[in-house]
Amino acid sequence: MYRMKTRKLGTQGLEVSALGLGCMGINFGYGTVTDKNEAIKLIRKAVELGVTLFDTAEVYGPFANEEVVGEAVAPFRDDVVIATKFGFDIQDGKSVGLNSRPTHIREAVEGSLKRLRVEIIDLLYQHRVDPNVPIEEVAGTVQELIREGKVKYFGLSEAGVQNIRRAHAVQPLSALQSEYSLWWREPEEAIIPTLEELGIGFVPFSPLGKGFLTGKIDENTRFEPADFRSTVPRLSPENIRTNLIFVDFLKRIAQRKNATPAQIALAWISAQKPWIVPIPGTTKIERLEENVASTTVAFTEEELKEIDAEAAKIIPQGDRYSEGSAKLIDR
């Protein structure tokens, strides 16, 4: 098994591979469901390549994603870190809104433990901040679960600075998971400085801009209605046409570094802080190998400054979420 470099998330002892695997897309979000055997093969290949952080959630499927991840990593349980999330009300196989009430958190955790085939969840995130439940109650419930030996580490996803601080004061956070990429740099304003101050790790999702930064999407790309990207304003045909300038810029750097645009985008994120661990998702083994190889791409200070300067000249067109999804983001 390949040994990838590791990184520490938070100050509570959580250590993971420098790159994780976001498992959502295996059977949720993109309108397709990967064959179970193929999905297991992909996840086990990731383990072979040195990936130790696997990210899932009860709402992905719902439920099916956790089951696949649990089965795939069962033979390597002691060598991997499984992250999952609670926070949605799931009825008749569909999410019907947010729910982070303490009793619901406990129900969700019991379900996740069974589906993941584990006795303890390594990293438990609140999937989205629930405005109807004080974050202190959420953190307190997770703290109880940690004391009971059902959870090891606590995280939040897409939380704003105030809720990060309030939760951390009750139960120290090991990680925040939020969107971050060369294409979406808002976390640099307040989130990343707060995480640095408090000693919390950062796990960026969509580090490849929902696939856009790979260079495999152009103005002729049409997403199926069941693919959530069909609702993303930034990925509308007219905005893609304008935003391709971003991919051209990545291709120029990639050519110089003998890498791919995806590898440049991932390596850039990792170069920002030593406690950042991106979790790109894929369903293809060749893309998985490409992403893992990004951990060997290094930049000089001059190159990072050049990328920053070039990227700053480009204003991405379109919002990163549809109006409905944007309402779930904590500010």
SS3 track for the chain: CCCCCEEEECCCCEEEECCCEECHHHCCCECCCCCHHHHHHHHHHHHHCCCCEEECCCCCCCCHHHHHHHHHHHHHHHHCEEEEEECEEEECCEEEEECCCHHHHHHHHHHHHHHHCCCCEEEEEECCCCCCCCHHHHHHHHHHHHHCCCEEEEEEECCCHHHHHHHHHHCCCCEEEEECECCECHHHCCHHHHHHHHCCEEEEECCCCCCHHHCCCCCCCCCCCCEHHHHCHHHCHHHHHHHHHHHHHHHHHHHHHCCCHHHHHHHHHHHHCCCECCCCECCCHHHHHHHHHHHHCCCCHHHHHHHHHHHHCCCCCCCCCCHHHHCCCCC
List 30, 60, 180, 321, catalytic entry: 60
Annotate 34-64 with b (16+ C-beta within 10 A) or e (fewer).
Answer: beeeebbebbebbbebbbbbbbbbbbbbbbb
Sole residue written with tokens 């580090």: 207
180 belongs to the catalytic site: no
| Cβ neighbours, 10 Å, residue 102 | 15
203: closest CA among 31, 2, 17?
17
Catalytic residues: 60
